[in-house]
Amino acid sequence: MKKNKFKYIKALCLGSLLFIISGCTDLDEKWYSEATPDKYFTSKQSVLTVLYRPFTHFRWFVENDRWRLQELTADGFAITTKGPHWYNGGIYQRFIHHAWTPNDGEIWETWRGGTMGIALAMETKEDLNTFVDYEALGFTQAEKDAHQMQLQTLIAYLYMRTLDYFGGMPIFTSTTQENIGRSTDKETFAHVETLLKEAIPQLEKKTEIGKPEDGSIKQAAAVMMLAQLYFNAEAYIGESRFTECAKLSQELIDGVYGAYDLDPTWHGPHGFDNDKSPEMIWCTPSQNAKLTFNWFWSAFYHYESYKYFDIEGGADNGTHLQPSRKPTGEIYTEYKLGKPYEKFNDKDLRKQPYLYLGNKQYKGMFLVGTQTNPVTGVSSRGTQEYKDQIITFVDQVAQFRKVGTDYPNVASLPSNIASGEENTGIRLVKVPQPNLAEKTIRWNPDNPLARLAEVYYMLAECKMRAGDKAGAATLINKVRARNFENRIDPDPVTSANLDEYRILDEWMVEFLGEGRRRTDLIRWNKFLTEKWWDHEASNDKNLNRFPVPARALSGSNLLEQNPGY
């Protein structure tokens, strides 16, 4: 399809490439302004406004449906059916049972969102390069190069994410290309690698530790993407690239690509001013009453959790941690994966119940136990099975209210994705909530996309795979120490206790709820071969990739479905 008009002043449906990839057949452009490039690009701000448009889309892409595909198909989270709520056509049952289909909405939105983001970034990159006189507007050549390479890096990242979800993708290098089919996994991998290697030298390098991140892509972020690509290369293309990942990770830690350091506290990378955390490498900005990182609020919390938080409401009581305990209270011992709450040491500062202390200070990372706020004395109360009773979140899944009617005793209760109640499951509070008196800072925490702690863990895993368990333990323990009072860790990683399950546990507790778990399990060949709560091993290697959505296939006769679907 030939691109022949300036596209930022019109009602942009999906972007030129998305028209091709998703099968939108009406390619006639509808114009709602007579503005032309020479009239629009008249200031630095006008250039930045256009530059930021793909990043606004990207901010949406890294949330919600992508999170669900990563976390609800793995061993950390679930959306149980709770009475009449959250059956949703059985989609969340299909997710945990690995029975998704090409018609599932989350899969379509991920394909559509990824290809749309690539289209927007590519189109923006071309238009800024073609229509903007950077010198006349007072930009330097380095600034122009950085704009171009930020967009190129964004394209690379979106290709890497869609490679992770679907395998090989259609590789476009220009918006003037006609419809094409999918490239192979290796070709897509190589395309991402080439884009990043070209971009890295031309990106800005952060020179001051703790200088606030603003969502722009700096050199370290692009290097970290390349390290992530190599880290998962065995899963993506069947080739070990851990040596390359280790080299880049060590260089990131050494400051070769910018000034970063581990945050001294566990909550620094997630708190109200986390854009200033020394370990933040890349984030999507969020600010109250503007673009906000808040999608999880409705999905995670009980209808009345706002009373415990002492903030405004609107939650739908969906997502929670998978249970560590059987209905009878015993910890599950039938499998090693999952059981996220029990994987936190009891002395871990994060394991405390969440409580806002005022002035941006808080403690704990979970809604667990009796939901009465110890400061206000106000309780969250039930509206369904436990109507008007104080809610107590339990690390179990079962319909306890049916004991004595449908079931003779607790031991006879089933525990599965279809048997939740309104108080089922512990709730994660990784993004802190203030109280009503300080509501103007409510959505100020940014969404962390890349932080230095992940680099430490990547390097640790690479060392472990190379036989250096002592070196791996040292790196992990440097991060773990901040989670305990006086940095005294009662259960540090050692050469003796570090195995594939311990390192997966470490990935889980440090990055719980950060939208990565499926990828970690696939890298360790556990996603299909192991069991966890309400999930049996399938050993169907095809399930490491999601299907190409039916809606994408119907729009292009060149796209091929993934094997097994």
Rounded average pLDDT per 10-residue block, the chain, 565 residues: 37 35 38 58 93 95 96 98 95 98 98 97 96 95 96 98 98 91 98 98 96 96 98 98 98 98 98 98 94 94 98 96 98 98 98 98 98 98 97 98 98 98 98 97 97 98 98 98 98 98 98 98 98 97 98 95 97
Residue 20 and residue 555: Cα distance in Å, rounded? 8
DSSP-derived 3-state class of residue 24: coil
82 backbone dihedrals φ, ψ, rounded to 5° = -120, 95
Nearest to 300 by CA among 432, 201, 460, 210: 432
Note the pLDDT of residue 224.
Answer: 98
Domain parsing of the chain, residue ranges:
1-201+544-565, 204-283+451-498, 286-445
- Please measure the distance between the N-terminal and C-terminal CA atoms of the chain and give it in whole angstroms: 30
Tokens of 344: 């936190």
The third-level CATH classification (topology) of the domain covering 204-283+451-498 is 1.25.40
Residue 78 and residue 256: Cα distance in Å, rounded? 40
Taking residue 330's Cβ as centre, other Cβ atoms within 10 Å add up to 9
Note the pLDDT of residue 305.
Answer: 98
Residue 73 and residue 76: Cα distance in Å, rounded? 9
Residue 321 and residue 546: Cα distance in Å, rounded? 23
Note the pLDDT of residue 295.
Answer: 95
Alpha-carbon distance values, 350 to 231, 429, 449 (Å): 28, 10, 20
DSSP H helix total and E strand total for the chain: 19, 10
Nearest to 57 by CA among 133, 117, 142: 117
Q: Is 364 left (phi over 0), alpha (psi -120 to 50) or beta?
A: left
DSSP-derived 3-state class of residue 386: coil
Note the pLDDT of residue 86.
Answer: 97
Q: 3-state secondary structure string, 174-210?
A: CCCCCCCCCCCHHHHHHHHHHHHHHHHHHCCCECCCC
Residue 59 and residue 154: Cα distance in Å, rounded? 11
Is residue 111 packed enough to be buried (19+ CB in 10 Å), middle (13-18) or exposed (0-12)? buried
Cβ atoms of residues 153 and 222 within 8 Å: yes
Nearest to 169 by CA among 12, 64, 3, 20: 20
Residue range 1-201+544-565 in CATH 1.25.40.390: yes
Cβ atoms of residues 292 and 282 within 8 Å: no
280 backbone dihedrals φ, ψ, rounded to 5° = -75, 120
For tokens 């002492």, name the residue.
Answer: 310
Note the pLDDT of residue 178.
Answer: 85
Cβ atoms of residues 49 and 207 within 8 Å: no
Residue 392 and residue 191: Cα distance in Å, rounded? 50
Nearest to 270 by CA among 364, 393, 154: 364
